[in-house]
Copies of this chain bind each other. A is one copy, B any other.
């Protein structure tokens, strides 16, 4: 699939950081940055830019949860050669201090991605507008829409209509519960309120659908595609950047630097932290559930693969909600 408007967005450190409290070493992040530069990927997101707080103290979270400008600059400066991806960080609604955000011209950061749930859309839009006022590219990533009441989602989308400060709007499959049919359905819905060519897609791999759902998004006209190296990310992880580049035939991309950094950095990392598809995350995807319960279940090393027990426990919980 070749379309010159298609852009790839690497969120390896940001989504991967959800597994290890953003505690990647600087050398690891530099290696990822270099691979992304060499692969010709268009965007990279180095983490979240949250305010230090009681909920997010410095001693419990690594530096990529806060993405200090000087730290980001250090990474960018570590590899001055080659293709330069645009640099993004993520805002979580309610956990940022927009007052401390420098003007774009004084920052190594190019794009602010604001993540919010459907009921937080006003707060999300406020952050989008204020980020744009400071000169940044902006996105709004509406999370967990598979579990949102559709009339509320539509109400939220109506507010986005002609918001000139918003550069991209993301469809996010937070629970990895979407099949291709739903991708098309939601993209058609989103495109009623926001230009289709400015839509992005972020998938999760609970049902081994992250790559194919991303391909469906491409077919449906989406131009901004999230992926992570080796699919690293919370729970079942994300769309594998290397598989996505293998699918995209655009000669500007080179997959080899990605395999190189996987071999050198991610293979050893896999011994220490776990991500990717397994039966337990598969069940949480099928049942359209937040991966919280599945992640808790995986922590008990003696029973973490007991998929039948997990299926029975979560479906019984569901029935007790009736």
Residues of A within 8 A of B (CB): 1, 179-181, 205, 207-213, 215-216, 219, 230, 240, 242-243, 246-247, 255-256, 259-260, 262-264, 267, 277, 279, 282-283, 286, 305-309, 311-312
Contacts and interface: CB of A to CB of B under 8 A. Distances in A.
A181 B286 CA distance: 24
Copies in the complex: 2
A309 B263 contact: yes
B180 A215 contact: yes
Contacts of A205: 208
Contacts of A259: 279, 283, 307-308, 311
B215 A179 contact: yes
Given A256-B308, A308-B260, A208 B240 contact: yes
Contact of A286 (B243, B260, B277, B282): B243
Contacts of A209: 211-212
Of A179, A247, A262, A263, which is in contact with the most chain B CB atoms at under 10 Å from its CB?
A: A263
Contacts of A208: 205, 208, 210-212, 240, 243, 277
A231 B255 CA distance: 27
Nearest to A245: B286
Contacts of A247: 179, 207, 286
B212 A307 contact: no
Nearest to A279: B262
A180 B212 contact: yes
Given A215-B179, A259-B308, A307-B262, A207 B243 contact: yes
A1 B182 CA distance: 12
Nearest to A216: B180
A305 B279 CA distance: 22
Contacts of A212: 179-180, 208-209, 211-213
Nearest to A206: B243
B210 A243 contact: no
A242 B282 contact: yes
B207 A246 contact: yes
Nearest to A305: B267
Contacts of A307: 259, 262-263, 267
Contacts of A308: 256, 259-260, 262-264
Contact of A263 (B219, B262, B306): B306
29 contacts: A179-B247, A180-B180, A181-B219, A207-B211, A207-B247, A208-B210, A208-B211, A208-B212, A208-B277, A209-B211, A211-B212, A212-B212, A240-B282, A246-B286, A247-B286, A255-B286, A256-B311, A259-B283, A259-B307, A260-B308, A262-B279, A262-B308, A263-B305, A263-B306, A263-B307, A263-B309, A267-B305, A267-B307, A277-B277
A102 B309 CA distance: 43
A256 B312 contact: yes
Contacts of A262: 279, 307-308
Contacts of A1: 181
Contacts of A240: 208, 282
A162 to B, nearest CB: 34
